[in-house]
């Protein structure tokens, strides 16, 4: 028997196993799936932002050959509205959610009013144009602050002044005192503009209904199929969970937009059951823009108090959070728990207070979008600390350094009701980024450039974020309103042939989890990487898990796998003891083998143990056959990745264009399982934040028309609009989980928008510019320079 | 209905189509070649890029009837049997894809870029791919992937 030691694979940048099928066009995305007898759906959508539906006449549509049915909201009153599963904790929430199709009133442009089902998609679209809907227009409000003013159009009877909730955190009294007695106070309005997530694949659902068993199968572009199964059965249809199987095929990006429970899941289920034929709906891009969720959209007054020599003494924030015409699945939790509680960022702020008003307006629903609350928070504190440094005439790097939470302060309680930050070492990351940026020389270069009429700017962003969402200790019943701890699950089976199959409740949609999970399993069990298979996506065959978002899959999902691996090893040791006729206490499991301490040459491989367990002839008394272990992991805390990003820009003062010359990212996500994959996540997140700083903005006019309704008007960056990114890292393992990982999926987005804006404002300082809203479009920059 | 005859990935197909049928739907629905994707409705995103008579086109804004008598290559036809095209190899080696949805169109567009400019600078790669959007990678590794392929293909030609 060979005694070759398997090479360690965790920590190596190996190629992804997901790629061979994707690079050859063999992926299986929702629109690739075809079922026999399938009907295609085209939707009739409201052109009004706010109106009552007075009549719907589908007769012309029904007369088109190939059209099988037309259904409207009133047909589906036997199912419930979609649920809002996260009411902001401890406050009164006026919850209103959409139905499968609108009933009575439409509250945003693009809200679905009727569904046409036809034999092919072209016929369905033709027929949808023939459905006649009469509306009585109502007055419209799109601005969150204006919607709360007296006289504003009211969207929902149960939400006076369109207020969903009033929520706060921190210590108001202490903060007011800090401001009243501060040497320096600064106040700035901060707009975190509405964004449209724009995964390259839009959303869709396909439902097949089995009339004989009453069971539904729904293929869905979902980051959380188990959660969808729970919500659709328990809340919308009122049927047992066992009657719904949810399958997420390959998903073309999510960024949070694909977490939620959407109307197409419900109306394809309803229609498939009604008609006895499979039903498919896939939105086009304009539909995705009008009716799938948006992100951000905060209007904020931010204030910071401090001493003249750079010590922060207070932070006071008032935010209006636009939630849209209805509440999406977890909407109220984003601008509250995930925002307010991390506003102090990486700094020790002795007195902080945040008040948030969540508001209904006649716009698309707003919910989590990459970072979900944390980019809004880090944008605010990093913009304000730069503003503060400029106000007192101190170097922004020094002011940050002065106020950093120190390594010995962890676990750190930030006074805003967040769980304690797990670990952190902020200064080395800042120092590394400054060194890479050549900071020492930059200010000199900047001064020289200014003398020559060239305007360079440097922006720093030191961030911390909270991920590994979410421990029951935090979001559980008595806490933040979610009503469940967001645990994760894993089942590990070692088959008779020694091959290892892992099923997970996680839902990869680009993160490379099949690769990274297999790396962990391979090292832990000492089996060849190619012998490990990771399976996901189908609620039939995977244990219940909360899915992939919130940078949680390695921290929570990976740890669930680790726990199952530990159980497998324990059982393997027990069985090995029996096979070796030794004492269990004397058995060691290492590098895929179990042996008596001191006698590694008389080992049993995991394969041999698995075979014995599967054949089951000779097992110790009381031992069940097979190596099969399941774990559910509720983490004790979140994890807190951090880092510092720096960007350097040059402003063209004649055109207002920003040239983003360098972008440097130093990130600490704890231990790295696959550095190549970590870097990929950082790159993608950074470009989304850069895009918020320079290009993207979802715009509604006064009538609630979405002006940025296609890719022609909403500026998703191309390769040419994106910077070259220089990455480096520090490693501060998380003490929260045995893998020591902190999560990396959202950090790039959380750090980057303010990094670029701080650079732009730094460049424009000679023109008296102290603050600016995003995006720093050429028009806005030019005006800041040339108009006073 | 109109009858068209198209050679796709080396195989000839004769089919009846409505004049308004988009080439991308023809490939995906009629020929079951679902590797070519749809990501937008304004011809911006490039997920639908294929080669029509050797030139990259956006198949979402090409009618199937325009491909009558023509040769089409899709992502499924790029590899040479089991041997990946250097671009496919580059995207794999350099982690040039995450969700994979933009990837077929990105690779097909890059193949056309390299045909016209076999040794592009990074800036030329970024400019040459301006018709293709990616939301996952931030483009950093896509540029590296195309560079990898350009280097590999120039070595092969130099031999």
Would you state the pLDDT for residue A439? 97
Contact (CB, 8 A) for A523 and A8:
yes
Whether A440 has its CB under 8 Å from any CB of chain B: the answer is no
Those residues with Cβ within 8 angstroms of residue B10's Cβ, 6 or more apart along the chain or in another chain: B77
Residues of A in contact with B19 (CB under 8 A): none
For B90, which residue in chain A has the nearest alpha carbon? A23
When the pLDDT of each residue in chain A is averaged and rounded to a whole number, the result is 96
- Cis peptide bond N-terminal to A411, omega within 30: yes
Closest C-alpha to A312, from A183, A204, A226:
A183
Residues of B in contact with A292 (CB under 8 A): none
Contact (CB, 8 A) for A506 and A548:
yes
- Whether B41 sits inside 8 A of A286 (CB atoms) is yes
Would you state the pLDDT for residue B158? 58
**Window 343-372 of A, Cβ < 8 Å to B:** none
pLDDT band, residue A245 (cuts 50/70/90) = very high
What interface predicted TM-score (ipTM) does this complex get? Answer: 0.98
Closest C-alpha to A489, from A467, A504, A502, A475:
A504
Q: What is the pLDDT along chain B (159 residues), one digit of tens a residue?
A: 999 999 999 999 999 999 999 999 999 999 999 999 999 999 999 999 999 999 999 999 999 999 999 999 999 999 999 999 999 999 999 999 999 999 999 999 999 999 999 999 999 999 999 999 999 999 999 999 999 999 999 976 654
For B144, which residue in chain A has the nearest alpha carbon? A724
Interface test with B, best of A33, A282, A664, A719 (most B CBs within 10 A): A719
Closest C-alpha to A143, from A133, A135, A134, A153:
A153
Closest C-alpha to B75, from B37, B126, B114, B115:
B37
Provide mean pLDDT across the span A154-167: 98
- Whether B137 sits inside 8 A of A680 (CB atoms) is yes
Sign of CA dihedral A75, A80, A82, A87: positive
In the block, tokens 């069985």 appear at A575
**pLDDT above 90: percentage of residues in chain A:** 95
Whether A11 has its CB under 8 Å from any CB of chain B: the answer is no
**Window 115-154 of B, Cβ < 8 Å to A:** 122-123, 125-127, 129-143
**Window 31-60 of A, Cβ < 8 Å to B:** 31-32
- Integer Cα distance of A296 and A375 in angstroms: 9
Whether A684 has its CB under 8 Å from any CB of chain B: the answer is yes
Residues of A in contact with B98 (CB under 8 A): 253, 510-512, 680-681, 684
Report the gap between the CA of A322 and the closest CA in chain B (Å): 24
- Cis peptide bond N-terminal to A775, omega within 30: yes
For B20, which residue in chain A has the nearest alpha carbon? A122
A72-130 confidence digits (pLDDT tens): 999 999 999 999 999 998 899 999 999 999 999 999 999 999 999 999 999 999 999 99
What SS3 class is residue A396? helix
Contact (CB, 8 A) for A732 and A424:
yes
Whether A200 has its CB under 8 Å from any CB of chain B: the answer is yes
- Cis peptide bond N-terminal to A755, omega within 30: no
As a three-state string, the secondary structure of A41-96 is EEEEECCCCCEEEEEEECHHHHCCCCEEEEEEHHHHCCCCCCCCCCCCCCCCCCCC
Give the sheet arrangement for strand A132-137, strand by strand: A105-106, A51-57, A132-137
For A197, which residue in chain B has the nearest alpha carbon? B135
A446-467 confidence digits (pLDDT tens): 999 999 999 999 999 999 999 8
Would you state the pLDDT for residue A4? 58
Structure tokens at B8: 């796709």
Provide mean pLDDT across the span A387-416: 97
- Whether A719 sits inside 8 A of B142 (CB atoms) is yes
Task: Please name every residue paired with A207 in a beta bridge, in sequence order, or none if there are none.
Answer: A218, A279
Residues of A in contact with B135 (CB under 8 A): 198-200, 253, 255, 684, 688, 716
**Which structural domains are found in chain B, ordered by start?**
2-77 (3.10.20.30), 86-158 (1.10.150.120)
Residues of A in contact with B139 (CB under 8 A): 683, 687, 718-719, 722
In the block, tokens 């933009």 appear at B102
- Whether B20 sits inside 8 A of A122 (CB atoms) is yes
**Which structural domains are found in chain A, ordered by start?**
19-26+488-633 (3.30.365.10), 33-138+200-253+258-291 (3.90.1170.50), 298-470+637-786 (3.30.365.10)
CB-CB: which of A122, A200, A684 is closest to B39? A200
Whether B4 has its CB under 8 Å from any CB of chain A: the answer is no
- Say whether pLDDT at A475 is over 80: no
Would you state the pLDDT for residue A69? 98
Residues of A in contact with B123 (CB under 8 A): 720
Chain A / chain B CB contacts < 8 angstroms: 180
**pLDDT above 70: percentage of residues in chain A:** 98
Residues of A in contact with B24 (CB under 8 A): none
What SS3 class is residue A684? helix
Sign of CA dihedral A470, A471, A472, A478: negative
Whether A255 has its CB under 8 Å from any CB of chain B: the answer is yes
Whether B34 has its CB under 8 Å from any CB of chain A: the answer is yes
A203-229 confidence digits (pLDDT tens): 999 999 999 999 999 999 999 999 999
Structure tokens at A597: 């301490």
Residues of B in contact with A286 (CB under 8 A): 41
For B27, which residue in chain A has the nearest alpha carbon? A32
Report the gap between the CA of A34 and the closest CA in chain B (Å): 9
Contact (CB, 8 A) for A269 and A245:
no
Would you state the pLDDT for residue A171? 97
> What are phi and psi for residue A545, nearest 5 degrees?
-140, 160
CA atoms within 13 A on the CB side of A786: 11
pLDDT band, residue A788 (cuts 50/70/90) = low
Structure tokens at A537: 């996506």
For A717, which residue in chain B has the nearest alpha carbon? B133
A250-268 confidence digits (pLDDT tens): 999 999 999 999 999 999 9
Predicted model pTM: 0.97
- Integer Cα distance of A87 and B66 in angstroms: 53
Q: How many CB atoms lie within 10 A of CB A318?
A: 15
Would you state the pLDDT for residue A482? 76
Residues of B in contact with A31 (CB under 8 A): 28, 34, 37-38
pLDDT band, residue A469 (cuts 50/70/90) = confident
Which DSSP state fits A252?
S
In the block, tokens 């960056």 appear at A717
Write out the E strands in chain B. Answer: 2-8, 11-17, 49-52, 55-58, 71-73
For A674, which residue in chain B has the nearest alpha carbon? B95
CB-CB: which of A27, A251, A722 is closest to B138? A722
Report the gap between the CA of A13 and the closest CA in chain B (Å): 10
Whether A122 has its CB under 8 Å from any CB of chain B: the answer is yes
Residues of A in contact with B9 (CB under 8 A): none
Whether B68 has its CB under 8 Å from any CB of chain A: the answer is no
A684-742 confidence digits (pLDDT tens): 999 999 999 999 999 999 999 999 999 999 999 999 999 999 999 999 999 999 999 99
Whether B22 has its CB under 8 Å from any CB of chain A: the answer is no
- Integer Cα distance of A781 and A760 in angstroms: 9
- Say whether pLDDT at A1 is over 50: no
- Integer Cα distance of A54 and B117 in angstroms: 59
**Window 706-735 of A, Cβ < 8 Å to B:** 710-712, 716, 718-720, 722, 724-725
Strands A642-651 and A455-464, by their bridges, are antiparallel
For A196, which residue in chain B has the nearest alpha carbon? B135
Closest C-alpha to B31, from B75, B1, B61, B85:
B75
Whether A284 has its CB under 8 Å from any CB of chain B: the answer is yes
- Say whether pLDDT at A180 is over 90: yes
Interface test with B, best of A24, A195, A715 (most B CBs within 10 A): A24
Whether A679 has its CB under 8 Å from any CB of chain B: the answer is yes
A295-347 confidence digits (pLDDT tens): 999 999 999 999 999 999 999 999 999 999 999 999 999 999 999 999 999 99
Instruction: Indicate the angle between helix axes B140-158 and A675-694, nearest 10 degrees.
Output: 120
Residues of B in contact with A680 (CB under 8 A): 95, 98, 136-137, 141
- Whether B130 sits inside 8 A of A719 (CB atoms) is yes
Task: Please name every residue paired with A282 in a beta bridge, in sequence order, or none if there are none.
Answer: A204
């Amino acid at each position: 028997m060979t005694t070759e030691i398997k090479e360690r694979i965790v920590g190596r940048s190996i190629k992804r196993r997901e790629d061979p099928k994707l690079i050859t066009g063999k992926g299986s995305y929702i629109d690739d799936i075809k079922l026999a007898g399938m009907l295609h759906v085209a939707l009739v959508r409201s052109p009004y932002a706010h109106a009552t539906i007075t009549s719907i006449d589908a007769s012309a549509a029904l007369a088109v050959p190939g059209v099988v049915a037309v259904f409207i909201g009133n047909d589906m009153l036997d199912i419930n509205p979609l649920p809002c599963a996260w009411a902001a904790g401890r406050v009164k929430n006026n919850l209103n959610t959409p139905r499968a199709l609108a009933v009575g009133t439409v509250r945003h442009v693009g809200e679905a009013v009727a569904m046409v089902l036809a034999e092919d998609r072209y016929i369905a679209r033709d027929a949808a144009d023939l459905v006649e809907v009469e509306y009585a227009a109502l007055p419209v409000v799109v601005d969150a602050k204006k919607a709360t003013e007296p006289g504003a159009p009211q969207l929902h009877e149960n939400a006076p002044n369109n207020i969903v909730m009033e929520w706060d955190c921190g210590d108001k009294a202490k903060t007011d005192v800090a401001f009243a007695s501060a040497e320096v106070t600064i106040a700035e309005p901060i707009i975190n503009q509405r964004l449209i997530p724009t995964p390259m694949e839009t959303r869709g659902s396909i439902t097949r209904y089995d009339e004989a068993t009453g069971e539904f199968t729904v293929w869905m572009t979902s980051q959380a199929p188990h959660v969808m199964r729970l919500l659709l059965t328990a809340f919308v249809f009122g049927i047992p969970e066992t009657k719904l199987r949810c399958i997420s095929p390959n998903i073309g990006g999510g960024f949070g937009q694909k977490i939620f429970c959407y109307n197409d899941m419900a109306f394809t289920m309803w229609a498939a059951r009604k008609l006895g034929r499979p039903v498919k709906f896939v939105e086009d891009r304009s539909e995705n823009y009008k009716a799938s969720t948006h992100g951000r959209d905060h209007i904020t007054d931010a204030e910071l108090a401090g001493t003249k020599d750079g010590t922060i003494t207070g932070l006071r924030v008032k935010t209006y959070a636009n939630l849209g015409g209805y509440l999406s699945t977890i909407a109220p939790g984003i601008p509250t728990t995930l925002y307010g509680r991390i506003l102090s960022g990486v700094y020790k702020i002795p007195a902080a207070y945040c008040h948030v008003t969540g508001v209904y307006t006649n716009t698309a629903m707003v919910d989590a979008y990459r970072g979900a609350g944390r980019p809004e928070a880090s944008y605010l504190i990093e913009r304000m600390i730069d503003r503060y440094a400029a106000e007192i005439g101190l170097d922004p790097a020094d002011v940050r350094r002065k106020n950093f939470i120190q390594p010995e302060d962890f676990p750190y309680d930030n006074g805003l009701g967040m769980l304690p930050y797990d670990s952190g070492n902020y200064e080395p990351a800042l120092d590394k980024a400054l060194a890479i940026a050549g900071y020492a020389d930059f200010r000199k270069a900047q001064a020289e450039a200014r003398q020559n009429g060239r305007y360079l700017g440097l922006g720093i962003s030191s961030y911390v974020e909270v991920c590994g969402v979410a421990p029951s200790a935090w979001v559980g019943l008595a806490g933040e309103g979610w009503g469940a701890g967001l645990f994760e699950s894993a089942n590990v089976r070692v088959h008779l042939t020694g091959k290892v199959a892992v099923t997970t409740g996680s839902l990869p949609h680009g993160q490379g989890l099949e690769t990274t999970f297999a790396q962990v399993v391979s090292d832990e069990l000492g089996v060849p990487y190619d012998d490990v298979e990771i399976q996901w996506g189908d609620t039939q065959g995977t244990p219940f898990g909360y899915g992939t978002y919130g940078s949680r899959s390695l921290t929570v999902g990976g740890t669930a796998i680790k726990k199952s691996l530990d159980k497998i090893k324990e059982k393997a040791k027990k069985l090995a003891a029996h096979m070796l006729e030794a004492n269990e206490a004397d058995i060691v499991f290492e590098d895929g083998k179990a042996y008596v301490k001191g006698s590694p040459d008389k080992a049993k491989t995991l394969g041999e143990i698995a075979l014995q367990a599967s054949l089951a002839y000779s097992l110790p008394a009381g031992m069940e056959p097979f190596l099969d272990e399941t774990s559910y992991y509720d983490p004790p805390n979140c994890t807190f990745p951090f880092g510092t990003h720096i960007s350097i820009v040059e402003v063209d003062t004649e055109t207002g264009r920003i040239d983003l010359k360098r972008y440097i990212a130093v990130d600490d996500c704890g231990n790295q399982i696959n550095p190549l994959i970590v870097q990929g996540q950082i790159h993608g997140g950074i470009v989304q934040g850069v895009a918020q700083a320079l290009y993207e903005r979802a715009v509604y006019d006064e009538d609630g028309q979405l002006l940025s309704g296609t890719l022609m008007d909403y500026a998703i960056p191309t390769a040419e609009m994106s910077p070259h990114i220089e990455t480096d890292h520090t490693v501060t393992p998380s003490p929260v989980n045995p893998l020591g990982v902190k999560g990396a999926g959202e950090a790039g987005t959380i750090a980057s928008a303010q990094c670029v804006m701080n650079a732009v404002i730094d460049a424009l300082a000679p023109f008296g510019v102290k603050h600016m809203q995003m995006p720093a479009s050429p028009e806005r920059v030019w005006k800041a320079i040339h108009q006073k | 209905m109109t009858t068209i005859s198209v050679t796709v990935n080396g195989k000839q197909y004769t089919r009846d189509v409505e004049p308004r049928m988009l080439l991308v739907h023809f490939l995906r629905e009629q020929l079951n070649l679902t590797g070519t994707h749809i990501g937008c409705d304004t011809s911006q995103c490039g997920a639908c890029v294929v080669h029509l008579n050797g030139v990259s086109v956006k198949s979402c804004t090409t009618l199937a009837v325009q491909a009558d008598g023509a040769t089409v290559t899709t992502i499924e036809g790029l590899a040479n049997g089991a041997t990946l095209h250097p671009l496919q190899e580059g995207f794999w080696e350099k982690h040039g894809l995450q969700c994979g949805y933009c990837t077929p169109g990105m690779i097909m567009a890059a193949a056309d870029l390299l045909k016209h400019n076999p040794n592009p600078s990074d800036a030329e790669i970024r400019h040459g791919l301006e018709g293709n959007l990616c939301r996952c990678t931030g483009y950093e590794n896509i540029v590296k992937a195309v560079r990898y392929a350009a280097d590999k293909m120039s070595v092969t030609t130099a031999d």
